[in-house]
């Protein structure tokens, strides 16, 4: 028993030390990634969202597809534990879920905006990773799953994204059969193919 009690103390102390290290890292800015985060629908302006969000995880818990997670420490102190849309976890079904995330938000940091105004980001193809672009294989699983008809194919059966039609739902990134997703939804500020272009 004595040994077990000591182990528990050591375990808790270890947790404290680990948490302290994480917090210190976050306060130093967490320099691991400068990529803009994908937000749940209705987050609107990033600075206003950061100022309002309580980091309470109500939206993360409410999400019907479990496509949200708390932002980890590598995105920096200001974004730590804010909700992040991760298409590799699941598609955002904003047309079907009645925006459960926004309705759960106690401070209206996520606004329940009309469906036709929702654009979470823009999908972009990482051609060196894509089986169709790099290896000439017939794939196009991404095109098949896109209910917004935002992915077209060329004469060599390679996918292209229409940035105007893409709403950033993440279905393509979620289903892409390449090891680490050859098609990824980027935030509107990060996408190199702005609305109006095809890549
Ligand atoms: S709109 Fe629906 S599926 Fe998308 S993040 Fe919110 S709760 Fe989840
Ligand atoms: S994210 Fe992918 S599946 Fe969703 S609309 Fe854009 S191209 Fe289509
Ligand atoms: S599913 Fe992935 S690998 Fe297949 S064509 Fe689309 S982007 Fe390329």
The domain locations on the chain are 46-116, 119-186
Centre of ligand 1 from the C-alpha of residue 77, in Å: 24
User: Which residues line ligand 1 at a C-beta cut-off of 6 Å?
Assistant: 40-41, 62-65, 67-68, 92-94, 97, 99-101
The token duo for 49 is 């969202």
* pLDDT number for residue 1: 35
Q: On the CB side of 196, how many CA atoms lie within 13 Å of its CA?
A: 1
Please give the DSSP secondary-structure letter assigned to residue 164.
T
Q: What is the largest CA-CA distance in the chain?
A: 72
Give the C-alpha separation, 70 to 17, whole Å.
21
Task: Say yes or no to pLDDT of 8 above 50.
Answer: no
Give the pLDDT confidence of 75-114 residue by residue, as tens digits.
Answer: 999 999 999 999 999 999 999 999 999 999 999 999 999 9
Range 46-116: architecture per CATH: 2-Layer Sandwich (3.30)
**pLDDT, tens digit, for every residue of 38-74?**
999 999 899 999 999 999 999 999 999 999 999 999 9
Q: Whole-model pTM?
A: 0.85
Residue 177 pLDDT > 60, yes or no?
yes
Q: Is 145 in the pocket of ligand 3 (CB under 6 A)?
A: no
Q: Judge residue 90's burial from the number of C-beta atoms within 10 Å of its C-beta, 0-12 exposed, 13-18 middle, 19 or more buried.
A: middle
* Residue nearest atom 4 in ligand 1 by C-alpha distance: 92
CATH class of domain segment(s) 119-186 = alpha beta
Confidence of residue 191 (pLDDT cuts 50, 70, 90): confident
pLDDT band at 32 (very low <50, low <70, confident <90, very high): low
Give the pLDDT band (50/70/90) at residue 4: very low
Q: Which ranges in 55-151 belong to alpha helices (H)?
A: 58-62, 100-104, 131-135, 141-145
Q: In this structure, are residues 173 and 185 in contact, taking their beta carbons and an 8 Å threshold?
A: yes
- Which pair of structure tokens corresponds to residue 2? 């004595």
By most ligand atoms within 8 Å of CB, the mutation choice from 143, 185, 186 for ligand 2 is 185
For ligand 3, the distance from its centroid to the CA atom of residue 138, given in whole angstroms, is: 9
Whole-number Å distance, alpha carbon 92 to ligand 1 midpoint, is: 5
Dihedral through CA 125, CA 49, CA 79, CA 97, nearest 10? -60
What is the structure's pLDDT at 44?
Answer: 84
Is 153's pLDDT higher than 80? Answer: yes
CB 82 within 8 A of CB 108: no
**What does the pLDDT look like over 112-147, one tens digit per residue?**
999 999 999 999 999 999 999 999 999 999 999 999
Is residue 195 scored above 60 in pLDDT? Answer: no
Domains 46-116 and 119-186 fall in the same CATH topology: yes
Listed residue (88, 16, 104, 10) closest to 56, CA to CA: 104
* 102 CB near ligand 3 (under 6 Å): no
Over 60: is that where the pLDDT of 12 sits? no
Tell me how far the alpha carbon of residue 152 lies from the centroid of ligand 3, in angstroms.
Answer: 12
Take atom 6 of ligand 1 and give the residue whose Cα is closest: 101
Distance in angstroms (rounded) separating the CA atoms of residues 185 and 171: 9
CA–centroid distance, residue 127 to ligand 1 (Å): 29
Rounded distance between C-alpha atoms, residue 171 and residue 123, angstroms: 10
Q: Are 85 and 60 in contact (CB under 8 A)?
A: no
């Amino acid at each position: 028993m004595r040994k077990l009690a000591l182990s528990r103390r050591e375990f808790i102390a270890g947790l404290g030390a680990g948490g302290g290290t994480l917090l210190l890292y976050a306060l130093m800015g967490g320099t691991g990634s400068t990529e803009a985060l994908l937000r749940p629908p209705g987050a609107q302006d990033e600075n206003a969202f950061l100022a309002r969000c309580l980091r309470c995880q109500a939206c993360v818990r409410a999400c019907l597809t479990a496509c949200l997670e708390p932002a980890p420490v590598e995105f920096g102190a200001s974004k730590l534990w804010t909700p992040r849309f991760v298409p590799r976890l699941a598609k955002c079904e904003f047309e079907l879920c009645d925006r459960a995330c926004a309705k759960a938000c106690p401070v209206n940091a996520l606004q329940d905006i009309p469906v036709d105004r929702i654009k979470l980001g823009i999908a972009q193809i990482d051609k060196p990773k894509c089986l169709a672009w790099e290896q000439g294989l017939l794939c196009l699983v991404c095109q098949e799953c896109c209910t917004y008809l935002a992915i077209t194919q060329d004469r060599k059966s390679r996918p292209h994204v229409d940035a105007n039609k893409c709403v950033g739902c993440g279905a393509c990134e979620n289903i892409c059969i390449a090891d680490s997703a050859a098609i990824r939804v980027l935030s509107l500020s990060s996408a190199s193919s702005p609305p109006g272009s095809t890549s």
